[in-house]
Amino acid sequence: MKFAKLTASTLAIASVASVAAARDNVQVAGSSTVLPYASIVAEAFGENFDFPTPVVESGGSSAGLKRFCQGVGTEHTDIANASRAIRESEIAACAENGVTDIIEVRIGYDGIVFASQLNGPAYTAFTQADLFNALAPKVMVDGALVDNPHTKWSDFNADLPAEDILAFIPGTKHGTREVFEEKVIAVGCEETGAMAAMIAGGMSEDDAEDACLAVMSDGRAVDIDGDYTETLASIDANANGIGVFGLAFYENNTDKLKVATMAGVAPSTETISTGEYPVSRPLYFYVKKAHIGVIPGLKEYAEFFVSDEIAGPDGPLAAYGLVSDPELAATQQMIADEQVMGEGM
C-alpha cells in the first residue's frame, strides 16, 4: 500500500507541475443545450485559425458557471456556456474568487417545441392554457378553482383528441424546465384566470406566482432528467404522450416526430426570431476578461462565435437550429470593445 501511495503522490506532483505550465487552448464548459453550437464553432475555429481547437465540455449551465467562477488562472476554464442568464448569486460567487470582469455574450435563441409520435393522436395545436389545464394541480372549472379533474385532453378542449394526458417534460435540473414553467404553465395560469382566483382566495401575489409554476406529479407529467434522446424513446413507447424538445432536436428527427403549434404559431427559426412563437429562450456564453491576452485565441474564438458567417441567419448555427439574434452587430461590437457586464448596460 505504501508503494501505491507513493506512486499516486509522485504522479500527482508531476502532473500538477505540468498543468501549471501555460495552456495554449481555450477551455469551455457548461450547458448541454449550448454544447452542439459551441462544438460546431470550435471545430470551424480550429480549421480556420492557427490556434488549437478549443476544448468544449458539457455538464449543465450551473456546473459550467461554477467551474468558471472558481478563479482566475490557466487551470480554470475561460468560457462558461449557459442556457440562461447568469444569476446574481453566481456573480457574487465569482467576485469572491476574484473573477470580476465577465463579458456576457448572447449568441441567439433556442426554441422549445411540443412534439408527439408521427402517427400518434392528432396533437397538432396547443395553447398555454391547454397545457396548464392538463398538468397543473389546481385549475379553473366553471369559474371555480378546483383540484385538477381532467384525465383526457378532450375534457377541457373539445378540439384535442380524447386521449389520456401524458407529458414528458424536462427534469428540474434542466434549464429548459424553467422556460417551460415560466413561458407555458405560468402563462396558462394567467390566461385561464387561475392566478386571479388564487389571489382572490387570499394568496399573496408572489405566492400565487409560485403556485402557478407547479406541475402535477401523479404520473401524467413525467420528468426526464436525461437528454432529448430519452424523451424521444419515451414518446416512441407511448403513442398518447407529448414531449418537450429543443427545436434543433426536432428538426433532426422529423421522421419520427410531429410538432404542435403553440397558440396557433408553428415553431420555426423565423417565427421564433420575430417573437411570434412564444416559447423560446436566449442562449449565452460568458468570457473571463482576465484571460484575454493570456490564453491565445480566446478573444478570436469569442469574435468568431458571433461573426455573421457563423451565428448569422445563413451560418452553420442557424442551419443546426439556433435562432440568430437580430442584435448580433451590437454583440460583435461589445466583444471587440471587451465590454464587461455592468458597463453601459
Partner 1 sequence: MTDASMDNAAEGARRTISLYADDDLTRKRNAAEKRFQAYGIAAIAAGLFFLIVLLVSIVGSGVGAFQQTFITVPVYLDEAKLDKNGNRDVEDIKKVSTFGYNPLIEQAVFDKVTENGIATPLAKRGDMKALLSASAAAQVRDTVIANPDLIGQTVEFRILASSRVDGYLKGRVKREDVERDKNIDAEHLDLVDAFVASGVIQKQFNVDFILGADASESRPEQAGIGVAMLGSFFMMIVVLLLSLPIGVAASIYLEEFAPQNRWTDMIEVNISNLAAVPSIVFGILGLAVFIQFAHLPQSAPLVGGLVLTLMTLPTIIISTRASLKAVPPSIRDAALGVGASKMQAVFHHVLPLAMPGILTGTIIGLAQALGETAPLLLIGMVGYIATNYPGGIAEGFLSPNSAMPAQIYEWAKRADPAYYERAWGGIIILLVFLLTMNIIAIILRRRFERRW
Nearer to partner 1, 153 or 304 (CB): 304
User: Which span (6-14, 154-162, 211-219, 284-292) binds partner 1, by CB under 8 A?
Assistant: 6-14
**Cα separations (Å) of 108 from 41, 78, 145?**
14, 20, 39
Nearer to partner 1, 12 or 146 (CB): 12
Residue 208: CB atoms within 10 A of its CB come to: 20
Distance in Å, CB of 40 to partner 1, minimum: 4
Q: Alpha-carbon distance 232 to 133, whole Å? A: 24
DSSP for residue 183: I
Distance in Å, CB of 204 to partner 1, minimum: 42
CB–CB of 288/70 below 8 Å?
A: no
Among 32, 81, 117, 148, binds partner 1 (CB under 8 A): 32
Nearer to partner 1, 47 or 206 (CB): 47
- 59 is written with which cell numbers? 455538464
Distance in Å, CB of 207 to partner 1, minimum: 38
Residue 6 interacts with partner 1 (CB under 8 A)?
no
Q: Alpha-carbon distance 122 to 287, whole Å? A: 45
Would you give the end-to-end CA distance of the chain in angstroms? 58
CB–CB of 191/132 below 8 Å?
A: yes
Q: Alpha-carbon distance 192 to 205, whole Å? A: 16
Nearer to partner 1, 28 or 140 (CB): 28
- 321 is written with which cell numbers? 437550429
CB–CB of 324/317 below 8 Å?
A: yes
Helix axes 61-68, 88-96, angle to 10 degrees: 30
Residue 255 interacts with partner 1 (CB under 8 A)?
yes
Residue 46 interacts with partner 1 (CB under 8 A)?
yes
- 71 is written with which cell numbers? 478563479
* Subset of 203-232 contacting partner 1 (CB under 8 A): 226-230
Rg (CA), the chain: 23
Residue 8 interacts with partner 1 (CB under 8 A)?
yes
Q: Which residues neighbour 237 within 8 Å (Cβ) at sequence distance 6 or greater? A: none
How many residues lie near partner 1 (CB under 8 A)? Answer: 49
> If we measure between CA atoms, which residue out of 79, 43, 49 comes closest to residue 64?
79
Distance in Å, CB of 152 to partner 1, minimum: 28
- Tell me, residue by residue from 289 to 328, as one string, x for binding to partner 1 by CB under 8 A and - for no binding: --------------------x------x--xx--------
Distance in Å, CB of 134 to partner 1, minimum: 25
Residue 53 interacts with partner 1 (CB under 8 A)?
yes
- 152 is written with which cell numbers? 383526457
Distance in Å, CB of 14 to partner 1, minimum: 9
DSSP for residue 173: T
Residue 10 interacts with partner 1 (CB under 8 A)?
no
Distance in Å, CB of 123 to partner 1, minimum: 15
Distance in Å, CB of 145 to partner 1, minimum: 40
Residue 42 interacts with partner 1 (CB under 8 A)?
yes
> If we measure between CA atoms, which residue out of 131, 118, 230 comes closest to residue 171?
230
Nearer to partner 1, 129 or 260 (CB): 260
Among 240, 252, 261, 339, binds partner 1 (CB under 8 A): 252
Burial of 327 (0-12, 13-18, 19+ CB in 10 A): exposed
In the complex, the residues that contact partner 1 under the rule CB under 8 A are 3-4, 7-9, 11-12, 15-16, 18-19, 25, 32, 35-36, 39-40, 42-44, 46-48, 50, 52-53, 55-59, 75, 226-230, 248-249, 251-255, 258, 309, 316, 319-320
